[in-house]
Structure 1
Amino acid sequence: MVLQVLASTQVFASDHQALLKATVKLDFEYIPALHYTSQGNFVASEQAMHELKRQWQQFSSVYSSSEVDPQWQHFVAAAGRMIEAADQHVLGGDLIQAHKELEGVRVTLQGLRERNGITDYFLDQLHGYHVHMDAIVQAGKGKTAAQMTLKDVRTIQKHWAQVWPRWEKIRHQVSRAQFDQAFYNFSDDRLVELKQAISEEQVALYQLKLALLNGDRGRIARAAEGLSSGFMRTYRAFGDIPYD
């Protein structure tokens, strides 16, 4: 029995890279669907969902179960239901609900990788950063200096301690040629776009750092809200979305 478990683990480890390569292709179609539903673009959302469903069919036909993880199939099935629900919402004209379903897909598949010890997928670093970045953005979004409470500022300070080192790790990985361009199917032009997007977010983080040091709550709110642009540009680089 022990030998069988070890053998299964070794097979899973050997398939690890193939799984992630398939995930890269899946996310290339998933990210446009997530993006366009958030932008209220009905035509682009419908086309993106069509491509996502096609890619999901390919992914799930190969990775619907795992001998190593008995819960694997339940995670994949749950993600599949969310994709189908998102598609129905898009067809029904409810892009807000479609986007919520698609967010659930990301969380579900990331959780599946985490429970199986798959920690070297680059986009999961972005996902981990996003949790804390979004908390910062929401704390300052649309607020004036008078509307910013001490609780808001402390929330931003708390999550600031997470976003800065996380983004530094992401930036160093790409700038020091530790990012596998071929594995993630990046052309030279797309890699340049990724580097520029990461730099944009780094500048926004620095502006937030200065605002926190200054203590002006209006400035803090504006800087907090400004984090989303560079991050989304970075994330979009991994999807089938045109860039300038």
Structure 2
Amino acid sequence: MKAILSMSAVYAACLLFVQDADAQRGPGFRGGRGPRGDANFVADRDTFHFLLENHKQIKRQVTLLANGVETLTTSEDKQIVERLQEHVKAMYERVEKGNPIRRRDPLFDELFRHAEKLDMKLELVPDGVRVVETSDDPFVVKLIQAHAAVVSKFVEHGFAEAQKNHAIPPADSPSASSASKLTEEQQRKLLSFSAAFDRVYIPALALTNQQMQVPSEAAIARLRAWTDTKSSDVRELLGPVSSDSEPWTTIQNAIEQADALVQAGQLSEAHEALEPIRSLLTEERKRVSLTYPIDRLNEFHDVMESIVKPAMKANLESIDEQFLAQLSEKAVEASTLWSRVEQTSFTSPDFQLTDEEHQKLEQMIAAERKALTQIQHALRDGDYATILQAAIAIKPPFAKTYMLFGDFQDE
């Protein structure tokens, strides 16, 4: 990436107003450390709140360039200027350490995905921050300019605008094709491979999690046989995705490890060995801008687990304001990600779903939405037992949705 402050300019320029306002109401599950033990979460969150609350005292000028924008964000209040510049440094540190704030807004998420195509210059001025963002890619220029327009709305409206999601601008055909490293034929093959792989991967993943020994043995054997048969084809297909065959080697090693663990009767450990595979393939597909519908489910899964696992470990005595604040944040994020699932078409023949399964899919997607709504209602009403019950209840409809894409045969 060509930038003076790496991706920090993106975050600094937008003041991180993109964070969903309702998702910023608390510091984290326990001990005030925020997501995944994030020691700086509370301080950074407080800075976001401060900037949002004082948005009327912030001024912003945007100059459109042929290849991007130049923005100047300032304030006459010295305290606001200090907090703005403090925020820039914090975001720079997050980016350098690979610890960005989670991106819920589709527009900002898309911009971050194209970080390597951004050229940014950032300057701290006496009364604020000046940023020049440019790109040689026409689609990324659209993203930059759309991002700048949305940030101006954040400055104008504060929390009211931060609660919204913002659409990704349409890509022109040349940009859309150049964004992918795969030809149309390679994309078609990779989509077909992904669906076929999931048909044998999902049963092994699910059955080991359900602690079913004999069915797990059959499923892992089928998965290993399939990957061994397809190995040469997959290596050729993944060539354009990565500089070497490491992703597929990693996947095969994980499957071999899971197979050995299943044979030893260690099903929980086998499940954990298989679990990272879906994230690895999701990232590989993202790398080439390949849209694979099940990746929407994979993205939701990680956030869902960050809700369900703490809730399963918690008891009524352990719940405090920090726990509830973190749960509230994750619930908002989960709801946003599920909205993307609801907007995704799963009608591709690659999935080999029957009419009955399509109907079941629609029912489960609706059931997950109902469960996500119930957790919001529980958080609003404040009954701790109901909150924990609602948090745990978001997993079953997701699991049933995901398992529809697996071929369980007689397992």
- The bucket for the TM-score relative to the shorter chain is 0.7 to 0.9
- Structure-2 separation of matches of 1:18 and 1:161: 35
- Letter aligned with residue 194 of structure 1: L
SS of the aligned residue for 2:351 comes to: coil
Q: Alpha-carbon deviation of 1:69? A: 3.9
- Structure-1 separation of matches of 2:400 and 2:182: 36
Q: Alpha-carbon deviation of 1:181? A: 4.1
Q: Which of 102, 108, 120 is equivalent to 2:274?
A: 102
- Letter aligned with residue 91 of structure 1: Q
- Letter aligned with residue 106 of structure 1: R
Q: Alpha-carbon deviation of 1:117? A: 2.2
Q: Alpha-carbon deviation of 1:11? A: 5.5
- Structure-2 separation of matches of 1:128 and 1:67: 24
- Structure-2 separation of matches of 1:167 and 1:72: 33
Q: Alpha-carbon deviation of 1:67? A: 4.5
- Letter aligned with residue 157 of structure 1: S
Matched length? 232
Do the aligned residues in 1 keep the contact of 2:196 with 2:350 (CA within 8 Å)?
no
Q: 1:72 to 1:116 in 2, by over 3 A?
A: farther
**What's the counterpart of residue 158 of structure 1?**
329
The question of 1:36 aligning with 2:207 is answered: yes
**What's the counterpart of residue 140 of structure 1?**
311
- Structure-2 separation of matches of 1:154 and 1:10: 41
Q: 1:149 to 1:33 in 2, by over 3 A?
A: same
The structure with the largest strand share of the pair is 2
TM-score (norm 1): 0.87
Q: 1:10 to 1:198 in 2, by over 3 A?
A: closer
- Structure-1 separation of matches of 2:243 and 2:329: 34
Higher Rg of the two aligned structures: 2
TM-score (norm 2): 0.53
The percent of aligned pairs where both chains have the same amino acid is: 27
- Structure-1 separation of matches of 2:247 and 2:235: 9
- Letter aligned with residue 134 of structure 1: E
Do the aligned residues in 1 keep the contact of 2:208 with 2:270 (CA within 8 Å)?
yes
**What's the counterpart of residue 227 of structure 1?**
394
Instruction: Provide Cα deviations, 1:121-164, integer angstroms capped at 9, x if missing partner.
Output: 11110011111111111221153432222222112111112111
Following TM superposition, the consecutive aligned residue runs of length 4 or more in structure 1 with deviations greater than 6 angstroms are: none
**What's the counterpart of residue 46 of structure 1?**
217
- Structure-1 separation of matches of 2:309 and 2:393: 11
**What's the counterpart of residue 229 of structure 2?**
58
Do the aligned residues in 1 keep the contact of 2:181 with 2:288 (CA within 8 Å)?
no
Instruction: Provide Cα deviations, 1:221-241, integer angstroms capped at 9, x if missing partner.
Output: 110011111110100111113
Do the aligned residues in 2 keep the contact of 1:143 with 1:218 (CA within 8 Å)?
no
SS of the aligned residue for 1:204 comes to: helix
Structure 1 residues not aligned, in runs of 5+ = 1-5
SS of the aligned residue for 1:238 comes to: coil
- Letter aligned with residue 359 of structure 2: V
SS of the aligned residue for 1:80 comes to: helix
After TM superposition, the structure 1 = structure 2 runs for residues 85-100 of structure 1, keeping only pairs within 5 Å, are 85-100=257-272
SS of the aligned residue for 1:36 comes to: helix
Structure 2 residues not aligned, in runs of 5+ = 1-176
- Structure-1 separation of matches of 2:187 and 2:332: 32
The structure with the largest helix share of the pair is 1
RMSD: 2.2
- Structure-1 separation of matches of 2:377 and 2:347: 33
**What's the counterpart of residue 82 of structure 1?**
254
- Letter aligned with residue 283 of structure 2: G
**What's the counterpart of residue 187 of structure 1?**
354
Q: 1:12 to 1:73 in 2, by over 3 A?
A: farther
- Letter aligned with residue 251 of structure 2: A
